[in-house]
Amino acid sequence: MTDLDKMSRRDFFTISGKAGLATLMASAMGTNLGMVQVAEAAVGKSKVSPFRFAIITDSHLYDIDNHKFDAQLADAVDKVMKMNPLPDFVVYTGDIAQSGTDSQLKKGIKILSKLTMPLKVIPGEHDWYLDMGAAWRGHFGSPTWSFDHKGVHFIGMNSILVRDFWTKAGMSAEERMSTLMMLESPIAGPWGVREEQLDWLKKDVKKLSSDTPIVVFTHSPLWDYYPRWNFQTEDAPEIRGILKKFERVMAFHGHVHQTIYNKIGNMSSIGTISTSWPWPYPDVKLAYPWSQMLRSDPANFTDGEGAQHIDLEHGFKGVMQYDPFGDMLTPTMKNGFKI
């Protein structure tokens, strides 16, 4: 049994139990049991056997029945379930909820439970700041994790930790949450994974050889894309420093609701499209301008949104493929691009 299998089962137990979906639990477990044979715990560039994983992110669910975002998340789940081949697992890179309520998280879990493959989740700020992650942890456990799958070492971290701006200001939990819900609010200050997770990361990768393929998931990008909208992670340079010894690192992030690609040193950084709404591109000169999707049509509510999948090949070669609901990819991205 691999790390992934262990964690997948635990996650599905937790998810199913909390969401009261006992019947789904049985089918999910059955699927997971089928995965026991396919993975090897050993990691290393030469040990990578080809596989696919998918990312769904930023559904921003509201406490409103039959909200259009519910259907859009369900559409993304359907998209993943129709992939051929199916992904080995799915990662959700944050912001299931819009304002952090338990009911929003539960609604998301119910929709995501239609995925038959294991699901790994990290939080976004919208999941976290109503109760400082209490409900989120209750459903998903630790936001900091790693596992090995088919020769690749996968890492997930909570990158949306900010300094305490609410106590001194005498803010209520709701005020704290609503402050963080605004993208252009500088009150909260920059995101970060902070010391505890940096220490964890150091230990996590300590014994891994430099040819180990590394894939990192965070909600916010691990580079200063556009600090004004908190498209950044303050301690990203430290993270990149810890991972510097590896030949190659692939970092995937949510938060930006758009296609975006960057490369710093050994780390390629790839943004993801949301299931809720697209964000416009800030006025930033990009090193890889071809990674901008076409401007969304506001009359088409699902334009600029969707899911995505990544195919990893022998030698840790990767191909990123956005799977939008509509036609929004430039020719360079249309049939996937090397990461």
Binding region for another protein (CB under 8 A) = 62, 64, 67-68, 98, 163, 165, 179, 182-187, 189-190, 192, 224, 227-230, 232, 234-235, 237, 277-284, 295, 298-299, 301
Neighbours of 194 (CB within 10 A): 17
- Give the C-alpha separation, 231 to 291, whole Å: 16
Please tell me whether residue 81 adopts helix, strand or coil conformation: helix
Q: How far is the CB of 70 from another protein (least distance, A)?
A: 11
CB of residue 106 to another protein, shortest distance in Å: 17
**Nearer to another protein (CB atom), residue 168 or residue 207:** 168
Taking alpha carbons only, the member of 80, 85, 149 closest to residue 115 is: 80
Contacts of 28 (CB under 8 A, 6+ apart): 12, 16, 113, 116
Cβ atoms of 108 and 77 within 8 Å: the answer is no
Torsional class of 31: left (φ above 0), alpha (ψ -120 to 50), beta (otherwise): alpha
For the CB of residue 241, give the shortest distance to another protein in the complex, in Å. Answer: 12
Specify the pairing of strand 89-92 against strand 337-338: unpaired
| Residue with Cβ nearer another protein (10 or 68) | 68
Instruction: Please work out, in degrees rounded to the nearest 5, the angle formed at the alpha carbon of residue 159 by the alpha carbons of 153 and 164.
Output: 150
Give the C-alpha distances (Å, rounded to integers) separating 308 from 4, 201, 255: 20, 26, 14
Q: Which is nearer to another protein, 10 or 228 (CB)?
A: 228
**Closest CB 245 distance from another protein, rounded Å:** 22
Question: Among residues 163 and 244, whose Cβ is nearest to another protein?
Answer: 163
Minimum CB distance to another protein smaller for 189 or for 265: 189
Angstrom distance (rounded) from CA 96 to CA 112: 10
Q: Which is nearer to another protein, 99 or 212 (CB)?
A: 99
Nearest approach in angstroms of CB 319 to another protein is 29
Closest CB to another protein among 52 and 255? 255
**Cis-peptide into 85, omega within 30 deg:** yes
Contact 95, 57 (CB under 8 A): yes
Shortest distance (Å) from residue 301 CB to another protein: 7
Cβ distance to another protein smaller for residue 69 or 246: 69
Instruction: Mention every residue, 6+ apart, whose C-beta is less than 8 A from residue 142.
Output: none
Question: Smallest gap, in angstroms, from Cβ of residue 276 to another protein?
Answer: 8
Least spacing, CB of residue 164 vs another protein, in Å: 9
